[in-house]
């Protein structure tokens, strides 16, 4: 619970009085430690400024390291110095005001008018005054002549090319009356411009600039301390020289040096000033550098915080876990603890835990006294245990934990799981949840967090559990679903040809968690479809086209789009029974899977979870037994494909030749709006693509038939492609058909040597073979030219992904930053943090995308079905 709440933080500028008031001591000596290694009295490491050694007490507040926040000191500057970050403001003020009377150099009546206008738009008036006053040569108030003001960045001011020193600047701006300052955009109650010229410098507490003792015993100081030492030293020298009556020139030099040190103390990257260096030559990291950028205080420490009760390890797959579970190594469970309250209801259970196991590590009485539980004091503890006590115990099965994989690009990158303590050293997850995490098992590591409060646990369980994240808030369709092997497995399972005998069927049923054998559906045999149906809820109905169906139509094997019988390609599920159809990505895939979509939307999350758990296990078991491997024989080019390819090649080369001739003769017709050369390139490009398409079609036709019509389908490449679990037709064409035209930036590769792409070509040859056309495939291997063409296309892809991640990363950061405060308010409007109205009703209809039916507020079909079935 929050005991103290910050409601607001006020920013302003410290006045010299403020600085002196908050000072615990004046720092006078440049030395930090004396010969014996003790901090110097009056030095920068004086214990009045706070403590960094455990055990010591602060000389100002008397507290120990943990409680003492540290205290500011101060340095009285012998001569004032400009605060470099404000010199621009000072410049403006000098432009706007008179050096004699301090008034804005605008006549009184006009000023009154402006004051009136400033009530409406103060910033506009401030700007207006600056432009108006810049060229005024005479003060309308006191008639004093005005010189030309100039700022030599960062801190030197000139009037009529004559230097004015910080003390003069200070005296000047001191004269500006409060009423005029208001007009210039200042709030004089909080900020006076003379404070921009420092007369006293605050020294931050030691806690902000701790020194480090190296192993060798040498103390190493913080960069800020180094800089402060410089300032004190020069300040002292300046003082000595003034007291000794040194010539003006020397004093001014020292003064400038003091100014330099103060400037770099604030910002060591000020333009026009050489950065201050450490002895080793490294530039010092001073105040501005500490705050700025990705590694700065704001982005690194304040908006990104470190936590306790977290663990990190490599992940590995375990299909026998539920999607809601995460396997946690015993060694991790032992270290991570959960607090638990002892109440009347769980007193006995906790007592048992203490007595019989070593799960409970600490107990705490209501007054906060903590005690470690050991074998020796177990009995004692059991006796005094009563409700109101708190315990700290090891992680147990079914505890709620948060699991996360970086980069955390969306909210599904961190979900709640139920712990399952297991032997081993890796975290284990069901491979189905890889998708939202974007994880694989090639060495990925993930983080685990254990919520420590009841609120935290409940929130995580109710809102973040994996089963409740199945529908994506991005597009309102399932994201957590089978992929790769899961889909391949279901595909094979649901093939007509897949039939099991009793022994096998029993094994699969066991994997699914069934101990009873359903009646056989094919004379003593059990079809894969039967097993699949068991995972479905009993009242599930669905009719949908499979992905295979669309592939059949695309390749022209199937002409009638309503003919699902021939290849069993239309899925029909009635009352939880898969009557016909092949299950593939069309039913199970991410975002487009009709089956999982319906399941996720119409049934409680628990049902979907069980469906995934059961089916996932059979699919994996099936593949484990069958083996999902590919062999070279799958990619052998058949005679018919070979014939088509040769035929196509001949045609293409012939046509390309004609084109080249036409182009060279200048008779090529150009595409409207394009030059002849461009048109030529485009046509050549299309030619190559067309050729590949034709080969691909023939190849696909053969391969698909091979798979669906054979009694014992064995070619797994096609299993993967047809089920859309991995790979696509182009991949197969590349391997056993032909590679086709290489492309760089949407066109034929063109940059290379003079008048030719690579030196293997003849000069000025613009034909197909010299422009990146690859006739071979991976099985045959490419020739020298083709090898280079292929590499050109490959490289572009590589570069593009690199650039895209960089650009999109920054884009995302900006989007997140400007959208992060938008929230649906209690009146269902969308508002910003400052309560500005953005939308009257969220998304024009108030429907949340994660609940909507692929963007539609209602699922009419579903409602219709429900009402009609309800009526019957």
Partner 1 sequence: MKKKKPVQKQKAPKKPKEKAKTKTKGKKSVVEKPILITIPRPKPKYTPAPGMEDLPQQILGELFAVIEAKKWSDAKAKPFIEKASQQFQKNKVDSGEAVGIIAAQSLGEPGTQLTLRTKHFAGAAEVSVGSGIQRVEEIVDGRSKAKYPVMTIHLKEPLNKSRAETEKFAKGLIDVRMGDVLKTHEDLAENIVIIQPLEEEMKEKGVEPPEILEKINKQLGVNGRKKKLGYEYSFGRTPLLKVRRQLLKLLDLRTKGIRGIEKTIVIEENNEFIIKTSGSNLKAILKLPEIDLEKTITNDVKEISTVLGIEAGRQAIVSELYGTLKENDIAIDIRHVMLLADLMTFSGEIKGIVRTGITKGKESPFARAAFEETTKHLLEAAFKGEREHLQGVVENIIVGQPIKVGTGRVELVMKGKTK
Residues of this chain, 569-608, that bind partner 1 according to CB under 8 A? 591
- Name which of 411 and 705 has its Cβ closer to partner 1: 411
Among the listed residues 142, 144, 760, 804, the single contact to partner 1 using CB under 8 A: 804
CA atoms within 13 A on the CB side of 109: 0
**Do residues 229 and 32 lie in contact, with contact meaning Cβ atoms separated by under 8 Å?**
yes
Q: Which helix (DSSP H) or strand (DSSP E) does residue 200 occupy?
A: strand 197-203
**Do residues 323 and 315 lie in contact, with contact meaning Cβ atoms separated by under 8 Å?**
no
- Name which of 560 and 844 has its Cβ closer to partner 1: 844
Among the listed residues 356, 443, 816, 872, the single contact to partner 1 using CB under 8 A: 816
**Do residues 473 and 411 lie in contact, with contact meaning Cβ atoms separated by under 8 Å?**
yes
Among the listed residues 66, 524, 871, 872, the single contact to partner 1 using CB under 8 A: 871
- Name which of 754 and 814 has its Cβ closer to partner 1: 814
- Residues forming a β-bridge with 471: 478
- Name which of 760 and 864 has its Cβ closer to partner 1: 864
- Name which of 280 and 867 has its Cβ closer to partner 1: 867
Part in contact with partner 1 (CB under 8 A); list of ranges 296-304, 484-492, 524-532, 645-653 = 296-304
Give the C-alpha distances (Å, rounded to integers) separating 804 from 190, 474, 800, 801, 817. Answer: 47, 21, 6, 5, 20
- Give yes or no for residue 127 binding partner 1 (CB under 8 A): no
Among the listed residues 242, 668, 682, 782, the single contact to partner 1 using CB under 8 A: 682
- Give yes or no for residue 823 binding partner 1 (CB under 8 A): yes
Part in contact with partner 1 (CB under 8 A); list of ranges 107-115, 635-643, 646-654, 826-834 = 826-834
Give the C-alpha distances (Å, rounded to integers) separating 839 from 212, 699, 817, 818, 833. Answer: 54, 54, 18, 15, 14
- Name which of 243 and 344 has its Cβ closer to partner 1: 344
407 preceded by cis ω (within 30°)? yes
- Give yes or no for residue 845 binding partner 1 (CB under 8 A): yes
- Name which of 510 and 810 has its Cβ closer to partner 1: 810
- Name which of 6 and 632 has its Cβ closer to partner 1: 6
What residue ranges in 287-380 does DSSP mark as E strands?
Answer: 310-317, 325-329, 337-341, 360-364, 370-372
- Name which of 578 and 683 has its Cβ closer to partner 1: 683
How far apart are alpha carbons 157 and 174 in whole angstroms? 16
- Name which of 753 and 812 has its Cβ closer to partner 1: 812
- Nearest to 682, CA basis, from 663, 705, 707, 704: 663
In 3-state terms, what secondary structure has residue 163?
Answer: strand
How far apart are alpha carbons 541 and 564 in whole angstroms? 17
Q: Which residues contact 521 (CB under 8 A, 6 or more apart)?
A: 527, 530
- Name which of 791 and 860 has its Cβ closer to partner 1: 860
Give the C-alpha distances (Å, rounded to integers) separating 73 from 19, 59, 228, 679. Answer: 8, 13, 11, 76
For the CA atoms of 175, 180, 182, 188, what is the dihedral angle to 10 degrees? 20
Part in contact with partner 1 (CB under 8 A); list of ranges 246-254, 306-314, 526-534, 861-869 = 861-869
- Name which of 791 and 837 has its Cβ closer to partner 1: 837
Among the listed residues 282, 410, 625, 750, the single contact to partner 1 using CB under 8 A: 410
In 3-state terms, what secondary structure has residue 755?
Answer: coil
- Give yes or no for residue 202 binding partner 1 (CB under 8 A): no
Query: Could you tell me the two tokens for 205?
Result: 């507490």
Query: Could you tell me the two tokens for 86?
Result: 């404000």
Binding mask 390-409 for partner 1 (x = CB under 8 A): -------------------x
**Least spacing, CB of residue 291 vs partner 1, in Å:** 5
**Do residues 522 and 651 lie in contact, with contact meaning Cβ atoms separated by under 8 Å?**
no
Among the listed residues 459, 461, 468, 783, the single contact to partner 1 using CB under 8 A: 459
- Name which of 144 and 463 has its Cβ closer to partner 1: 463
- Give yes or no for residue 187 binding partner 1 (CB under 8 A): yes
How many residues of this chain interact with partner 1, rule: CB under 8 A?
A: 110
Return the residues of window 705-764 that contact partner 1 according to CB under 8 A. Answer: 745-746
Among the listed residues 22, 463, 517, 760, the single contact to partner 1 using CB under 8 A: 463
Long-range CB contacts for residues 37-46, cutoff 8 Å, separation at least 24? 37/219, 44/73, 44/203, 44/225, 44/228, 44/229, 44/232, 45/206, 45/211, 45/225, 46/73
Return the residues of window 351-370 that contact partner 1 according to CB under 8 A. Answer: none
Part in contact with partner 1 (CB under 8 A); list of ranges 320-328, 388-396, 501-509, 678-686 = 678-686
Count the Cβ atoms, other than its own, within 10 Å of residue 73.
27
- Give yes or no for residue 85 binding partner 1 (CB under 8 A): yes
Binding mask 299-318 for partner 1 (x = CB under 8 A): x--xx-x-------------
Q: Which helix (DSSP H) or strand (DSSP E) does residue 456 occupy?
A: helix 454-463
**Least spacing, CB of residue 287 vs partner 1, in Å:** 9
Q: Can you say how many angstroms the Cα of residue 195 is from the centroid of all Cα atoms in its chain?
A: 42
In 3-state terms, what secondary structure has residue 159?
Answer: strand
Among the listed residues 22, 554, 812, 869, the single contact to partner 1 using CB under 8 A: 812
- Give yes or no for residue 838 binding partner 1 (CB under 8 A): yes
- Give yes or no for residue 296 binding partner 1 (CB under 8 A): yes
Return the residues of window 628-647 that contact partner 1 according to CB under 8 A. Answer: none
Among the listed residues 9, 249, 307, 632, the single contact to partner 1 using CB under 8 A: 9
β-pair type (370-372, 73-82):
unpaired
How far apart are alpha carbons 558 and 563 in whole angstroms? 8
**Least spacing, CB of residue 820 vs partner 1, in Å:** 5
Q: Which residues contact 11 (CB under 8 A, 6 or more apart)?
A: none
Return the residues of window 10-49 that contact partner 1 according to CB under 8 A. Answer: 10-13
- Name which of 187 and 348 has its Cβ closer to partner 1: 187
Among the listed residues 185, 202, 537, 767, the single contact to partner 1 using CB under 8 A: 185
Among the listed residues 182, 239, 411, 525, the single contact to partner 1 using CB under 8 A: 411
**Least spacing, CB of residue 565 vs partner 1, in Å:** 30
Part in contact with partner 1 (CB under 8 A); list of ranges 248-256, 571-579, 772-780, 853-861 = 853-861
């Amino acid at each position: 619970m929050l005991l103290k709440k910050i409601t607001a933080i006020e920013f302003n500028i410290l006045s010299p009085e403020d600085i002196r008031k908050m000072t615990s001591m004046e720092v006078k000596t440049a030395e930090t430690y004396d010969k014996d290694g003790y901090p110097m009295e009056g030095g920068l490491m004086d214990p009045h400024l706070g403590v960094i050694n455990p055990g010591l007490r602060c000389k100002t507040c008397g507290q120990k390291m943990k409680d003492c926040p540290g205290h500011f000191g101060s340095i009285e500057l012998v001569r004032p110095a400009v605060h470099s970050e404000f010199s621009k403001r000072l410049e403006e003020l000098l432009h706007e005001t008179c050096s004699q009377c301090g008034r804005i150099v605008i006549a009184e009546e006009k000023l009154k008018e402006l004051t009136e206008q400033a009530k409406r738009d103060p910033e506009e008036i401030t700007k207006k005054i600056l432009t108006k006053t810049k060229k005024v040569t005479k003060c309308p108030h006191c008639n004093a002549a005005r010189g030309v003001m100039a700022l030599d960045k960062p801190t030197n001011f000139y009037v009529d090319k004559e230097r004015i020193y910080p003390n003069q600047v200070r005296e000047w701006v001191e004269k500006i009356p409060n009423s005029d300052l208001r007009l210039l955009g200042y709030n004089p109650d909080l900020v006076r411009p003379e404070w921009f010229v420092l007369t006293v410098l605050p020294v931050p507490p030691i806690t902000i600039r701790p020194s480090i003792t190296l192993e060798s015993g040498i103390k190493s100081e913080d960069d800020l301390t180094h800089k402060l030492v410089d300032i004190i030293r020069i300040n002292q020298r300046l003082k000595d020289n003034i007291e000794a009556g040194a010539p003006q020139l020397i004093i001014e030099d020292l003064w400038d040096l003091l100014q330099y040190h103060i400037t770099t103390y604030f910002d060591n990257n000020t333009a026009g000033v050489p950065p201050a260096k450490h002895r080793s030559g490294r530039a010092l990291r001073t105040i501005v550098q500490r705050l700025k950028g990705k590694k700065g205080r704001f982005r690194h420490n304040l908006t990104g915080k470190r936590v306790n009760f977290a663990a990190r390890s490599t992940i590995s797959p375990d299909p026998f876990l539920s999607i809601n579970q995460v396997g946690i190594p015993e060694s991790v469970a032992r270290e991570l603890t959960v607090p638990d309250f002892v109440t009347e209801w769980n007193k006995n259970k906790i007592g048992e835990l203490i007595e019989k196991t070593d799960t409970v590590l600490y107990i705490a009485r209501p007054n906060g006294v903590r005690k470690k539980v050991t074998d020796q004091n177990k009995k004692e503890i059991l006796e005094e245990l009563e409700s109101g006590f708190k315990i700290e115990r090891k992680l147990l099965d079914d505890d709620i934990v948060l699991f996360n994989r970086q980069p955390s690009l969306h909210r599904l990158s961190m979900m709640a799981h139920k712990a399952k303590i297991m032997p081993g050293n890796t975290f284990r997850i069901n491979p189905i949840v890889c998708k939202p995490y974007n994880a694989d098992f090639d060495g990925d590591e993930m983080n685990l967090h254990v919520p420590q409060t009841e609120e935290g646990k409940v929130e995580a369980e109710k809102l973040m559990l994996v089963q409740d994240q199945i529908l994506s808030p991005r597009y309102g369709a399932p994201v957590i679903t089978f992929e790769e092997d899961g889909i391949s497995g279901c595909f094979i399972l649901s093939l007509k040809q897949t039939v099991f005998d009793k022994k096998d069927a029993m094994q699969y049923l066991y994997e699914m968690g069934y101990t009873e054998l359903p009646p056989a559906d094919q004379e003593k045999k059990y079809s894969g479809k039967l097993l699949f149906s068991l995972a479905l809820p009993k009242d599930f109905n669905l009719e949908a086209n499979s992905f295979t169906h669309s592939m059949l139509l695309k390749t022209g094997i199937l002409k009638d789009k309503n003919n699902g019988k021939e290849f069993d390609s239309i899925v029909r599920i009635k009352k939880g029974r898969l009557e016909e159809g092949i299950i593939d990505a069309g039913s199970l895939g991410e975002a487009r899977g009709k089956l999982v979509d319906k399941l996720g939307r119409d049934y409680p999350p628990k049902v979907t979870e069980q469906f995934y758990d059961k089916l996932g296990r059979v699919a994996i078991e099936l593949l484990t037994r069958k083996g999902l491997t590919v062999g070279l024989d799958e990619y052998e080019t058949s005679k018919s494909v070979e014939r088509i390819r040769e035929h196509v090649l001949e045609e293409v080369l012939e046509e390309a030749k004609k084109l080249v001739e036409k182009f060279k003769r200048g008779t090529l017709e150009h595409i409207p709006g394009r030059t002849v050369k461009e048109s030529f390139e485009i046509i050549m490009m299309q030619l190559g693509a067309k050729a590949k398409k034709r080969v691909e079609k023939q190849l696909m036709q053969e391969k698909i038939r091979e798979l669906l019509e054979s009694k014992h389908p064995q070619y797994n490449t096609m299993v993967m492609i047809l089920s859309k679990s991995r790979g696509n037709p182009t991949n197969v064409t590349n391997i056993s058909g032909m590679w086709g035209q290489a492309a760089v930036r949407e066109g034929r590769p063109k940059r290379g040597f003079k008048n030719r792409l690579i030196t293997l070509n003849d000069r000025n040859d613009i034909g197909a073979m010299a422009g990146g056309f690859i006739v071979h495939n991976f099985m045959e291997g490419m020739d020298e030219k083709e090898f280079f063409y292929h590499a050109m296309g490959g490289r572009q892809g590589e570069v593009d992904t690199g650039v895209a991640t960089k650009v999109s990363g920054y884009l995302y950061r900006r989007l997140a930053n400007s959208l992060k405060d938008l929230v649906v308010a209690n009146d269902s409007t969308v508002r910003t943090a400052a309560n500005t109205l953005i939308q009257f009703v969220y998304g024009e209809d108030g429907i949340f995308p994660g609940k909507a039916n692929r963007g539609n507020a209602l699922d009419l079909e579903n409602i219709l079905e429900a009402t009609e079935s309800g009526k019957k």
